[in-house]
C-alpha cells in the first residue's frame, strides 16, 4: 500500500477510538464558533471535507440546526459513525482529491484537518476544487498542522498503526488561496499539547470566495 492507503486504513480501523477522543473535544470549539459567525445564512449549504465521525458537523448543527450539511470521508467506518451522529445531515464515502466531481454549489466548506494527509500538490488542487464549489462570498475553513514541509513523515502509534503526516505552512496556503480567488479574513493558531516532544502547531485559516 502507498502512504495514502496506509493512512486511510488506519483511520478506518481506529474510527471508534477517534470518535471517543474527538467527538466532544472542546479545544477546537472556538474555531467552529468563528466559522458560524462568518456564515450568516441560517440555511447555508455546507460541505464537510474529511468529516471523520461527524464531530464538526454535530457541533455546527447543535449551534445552527438549520445548516444543510453534506460530509465526505474516505474511511467507510468514519462515514458510518458520522451518519449515526448526525441523522439530519448526509454523508458518503468519497476521496477529498475527487471533489471536483460534485455537481453542487455550497455557501461554505469546512476542511478540518484533512490537509495533513495530502501532499502539497494535492492541497493546491483541493483549494482550487473548493473554490469551484463555493458561491461568491462563500466561506472556507481550513485547519492543518503547521511546520516545514520537509518534516513530513510517518507517525507510528504505540500499538503500531501508522499515518503519514504532511506539514504545511501559511505562506504556501496564502499563495494558493489568493491564486484561486480567496481572501483570507482571519487566521488562528493553537499549540496542541503532544504526548511526546514539543507541542504541535495547529493552523486555522478562514477565507472568503471573491
CB of 99 closer than 8 Å to CB of 48: no
pLDDT for residue 144 is more than 80: yes
- So what's the pLDDT on residue 169? 98
- So what's the pLDDT on residue 195? 64
- So what's the pLDDT on residue 158? 78
Which pLDDT tens digit goes with each residue over 13-49? 999 999 999 999 999 999 999 999 999 999 999 999 9
The confidence band for 1, taking pLDDT boundaries of 50, 70 and 90, is confident
Assigned C-alpha cell, 61: 448543527
pLDDT for residue 65 is more than 60: yes
Cα(113)–Cα(135) distance, rounded to whole angstroms?
23
The CATH number of domain 3-209, selected from 3.40.50.150, 3.40.50.620, 3.30.300.30, 3.40.50.300: 3.40.50.150
Which pLDDT tens digit goes with each residue over 192-201? 877 655 678 9
81 phi, psi to nearest 5 deg: -65, -40
- So what's the pLDDT on residue 199? 77
Cα(126)–Cα(110) distance, rounded to whole angstroms?
12
pLDDT for residue 161 is more than 80: yes
Cα(176)–Cα(139) distance, rounded to whole angstroms?
16
Assigned C-alpha cell, 54: 461527524
Cα(34)–Cα(107) distance, rounded to whole angstroms?
15
Assigned C-alpha cell, 157: 502509534
**Span 172-184, average pLDDT:** 98
197 phi, psi to nearest 5 deg: 80, -170
- So what's the pLDDT on residue 197? 59
- So what's the pLDDT on residue 27? 95
User: With the C-alpha atoms ordered 83, 86, 105, 205, is the resulting torsion angle positive or negative?
Assistant: negative
Average per-residue pLDDT for the chain: 96
Which pLDDT tens digit goes with each residue over 104-134? 999 999 999 999 999 999 999 999 999 999 9
Assigned C-alpha cell, 82: 458520522
CB of 185 closer than 8 Å to CB of 168: no
CB of 35 closer than 8 Å to CB of 29: no
Residues sharing a CB contact under 8 Å with residue 188, sequence separation 6 or more, in sequence order: 30, 31, 34, 203, 204, 206
Of 179, 187, 180, 182, the C-alpha closest to 206 is: 187
Paired residues of 205 in beta bridges: 142, 187
**Percentage of the chain surpassing pLDDT 70?**
98
The answer to which of 33-47, 71-85, 155-169 has the lowest mean pLDDT is 155-169
Assigned C-alpha cell, 14: 481506529
Residue boundaries of the structural domains of the chain: 3-209
User: With the C-alpha atoms ordered 16, 192, 166, 156, is the resulting torsion angle positive or negative?
Assistant: negative
Amino acid at each position: 500500500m502507498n502512504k495514502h492507503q496506509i493512512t486511510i486504513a488506519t483511520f478506518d480501523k481506529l474510527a471508534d477510538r477517534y470518535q471517543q477522543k474527538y467527538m466532544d473535544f472542546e479545544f477546537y470549539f472556538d474555531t467552529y464558533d468563528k466559522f458560524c459567525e462568518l456564515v450568516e445564512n441560517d440555511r447555508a449549504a455546507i460541505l464537510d471535507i474529511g468529516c471523520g465521525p461527524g464531530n464538526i458537523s454535530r457541533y455546527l448543527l447543535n449551534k445552527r440546526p438549520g445548516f444543510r450539511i453534506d460530509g465526505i470521508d474516505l474511511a467507510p467506518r468514519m462515514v458510518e459513525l458520522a451518519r449515526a451522529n448526525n441523522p439530519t445531515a448526509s454523508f458518503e464515502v468519497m476521496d477529498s482529491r475527487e471533489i471536483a466531481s460534485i455537481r453542487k454549489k455550497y455557501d461554505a466548506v469546512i476542511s478540518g484537518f484533512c490537509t495533513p494527509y495530502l501532499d502539497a500538490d494535492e492541497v493546491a488542487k483541493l483549494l482550487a476544487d473548493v473554490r469551484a464549489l463555493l458561491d461568491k462570498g462563500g466561506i472556507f475553513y481550513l485547519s492543518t498542522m503547521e511546520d516545514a514541509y520537509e518534516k513530513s513523515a510517518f507517525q507510528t502509534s504505540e500499538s503500531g498503526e501508522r499515518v503519514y503526516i504532511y506539514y504545511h505552512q501559511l505562506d504556501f496556503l496564502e499563495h494558493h488561496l489568493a491564486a484561486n480567488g480567496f481572501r483570507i479574513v482571519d487566521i488562528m493558531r493553537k499549540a496542541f499539547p503532544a504526548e511526546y516532544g514539543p507541542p504541535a502547531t495547529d493552523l486555522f485559516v478562514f477565507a472568503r470566495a471573491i
